[in-house]
Amino acid sequence: MELIKNTWFGQLYANSKWLFALVCIYGLGILYYAAHQREEFPFLLYGMYSLKVGPSPTYTAYSIELGEQEIKYIKLRDAQREMIGSNLEHAMPMIEDGTMSADEQAAFKKWLMNYCNDMRISGDNKMNVYKLTCYYDETGKVHVLKKELVLTYATE
């Protein structure tokens, strides 16, 4: 009994019953969602790339050109890459399967261009987004199999 009292949980229980209850609920929530292999904020599971990833014949990347200049992703900070990359990954399937209206597409392209320009990547008024379908050879080198123009936007 004394041993339990000396643990962090025991001390928390002695200090504050409601804090102890909150921590227990949080812990049980994590266990519940872990058992269901589903993440629900705030019960974060921190898998850190634990899902099995099988081989794929091709991989997709997006290349953005502002004016004549291609955005180099390496020059972007993590959060910028996330803002651009994740938004493209979400929006492109909607554009391709026709679930994004023409107005929404125009607004999305405008947002993407404004965001890129606001990062002072470029002050250009023309943007092209290409979808690159790539594959790897046995030396680990990547090659472009197909390059398609998927978005284009220009302002006055």
Contacts to other proteins by CB under 8 A: 8, 11-12, 15-16, 19, 23, 39-42, 44-56, 59-63, 70, 72-74, 77-80, 82-83, 86-87, 89-91, 104, 107-108, 111, 114-115, 118-119, 132, 134, 136, 138-142, 144
Is the Cβ of residue 2 or residue 41 nearer to other proteins in the bound state? 41
Shortest Cβ 76–other proteins spacing (Å): 8
Shortest Cβ 30–other proteins spacing (Å): 8
Tokens of 29: 């929530």
CA atoms within 13 A on the CB side of 34: 12
Is the Cβ of residue 144 or residue 154 nearer to other proteins in the bound state? 144
Shortest Cβ 86–other proteins spacing (Å): 4
Is the Cβ of residue 44 or residue 154 nearer to other proteins in the bound state? 44
The label of the residue with tokens 């090659």 reads: 143
Is the Cβ of residue 21 or residue 59 nearer to other proteins in the bound state? 59
Shortest Cβ 156–other proteins spacing (Å): 18
Shortest Cβ 1–other proteins spacing (Å): 19
Residue 91 dihedral angles phi and psi, to the nearest 5°:
-75, -35
Is the Cβ of residue 126 or residue 133 nearer to other proteins in the bound state? 133
